[in-house]
């Protein structure tokens, strides 16, 4: 049996982009073959099926988000100031794709519960990271609620308005 001759991390990132752009159900295997440049047999050998690749894509996205949070915290004067920087960056992001995890929950909760569970797990891991930086679990839940709001409702409010709302609703964070 031959081995897969490609960079798994690159393929997972390319698949993540395809799923993020189109959603799980609208992303066909042909779309994934094209997006990754990998032939069908190699993709199936490496990931099993579309759901297996989607699982890896969600995990990659979740890790990227947690890594970004950790980076903001490391570079800030305090963990709370790092969270402020993270929230500010989220509010100021352009684009219309929203959050892959939130999009996946909305798309899959009723029809693909096992896959939506993967998205919920990634969100829970982000909340756990936040809890490690904040004084209470309730604060982590509140910040997470705001992250989901920013990511899920990005079309309703301009970035400046989102920041104003964040400052008003999370006054215990050290906003500039």
Q: Cα–Cα distance between 142 and 152 in angstroms, integer?
A: 15
**Counting beta carbons within 10 angstroms of the beta carbon of residue 109, is it exposed (0 to 12), middle (13 to 18) or buried (19 or more)?**
middle
The model's pTM is 0.90
Q: Provide the pLDDT for residue 4.
A: 59
pLDDT of residue 140: 96
Cα separation, 24 vs 29, whole angstroms: 10
pLDDT in tens, 83-119: 999 999 988 886 668 889 999 999 999 999 999 999 9
The pLDDT score that the predictor gives to residue 95 is: 63
* C-alpha distances out from residue 60 to 83, 139, 151, Å: 21, 26, 17
149 has a pLDDT exceeding 60:
yes
How high does pLDDT run on average in the chain? 92
**Domain ranges for the chain:** 8-169
At the top level of CATH, the class of 8-169 is mainly alpha
Region 35-51: mean pLDDT is: 94
pLDDT of residue 68: 94
Residue 129 has what pLDDT? 96
- Can you tell me the mean pLDDT for 4-30? 94
pLDDT for the residue numbered 137: 87
Is the pLDDT score of 2 beyond 70?
Answer: no
Q: Which residues contact 33 (CB under 8 A, 6 or more apart)?
A: 39, 40, 43
In tens, the pLDDT along 72-87 reads 999 999 999 999 999 9
User: In the predicted model, is pLDDT for residue 1 greater than 60?
Assistant: no
């Amino acid at each position: 049996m031959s081995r897969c001759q490609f960079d798994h991390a690159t393929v997972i990132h390319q698949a993540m982009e395809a799923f993020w752009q189109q959603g799980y159900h609208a992303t066909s295997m042909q779309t994934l073959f094209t997006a990754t440049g990998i032939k069908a047999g190699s993709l199936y050998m490496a990931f099993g099926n579309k759901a297996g690749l989607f699982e890896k894509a969600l995990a990659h996205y979740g890790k990227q988000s947690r890594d970004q949070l950790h980076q903001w915290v490391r570079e800030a004067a305090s963990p709370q100031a790092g969270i402020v920087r993270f929230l500010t960056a989220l509010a100021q992001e352009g684009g219309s794709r929203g959050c892959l995890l939130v999009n996946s929950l909305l798309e899959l909760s009723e029809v693909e519960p096992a896959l939506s569970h993967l998205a919920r797990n990634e969100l829970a891991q982000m909340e756990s990271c936040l809890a490690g930086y904040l004084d209470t679990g309730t604060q982590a839940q509140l910040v997470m609620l705001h992250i989901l709001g920013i990511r899920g409702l990005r079309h309703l409010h301009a970035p400046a308005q989102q920041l104003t709302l964040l400052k008003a609703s999370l006054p215990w964070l050290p906003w500039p």
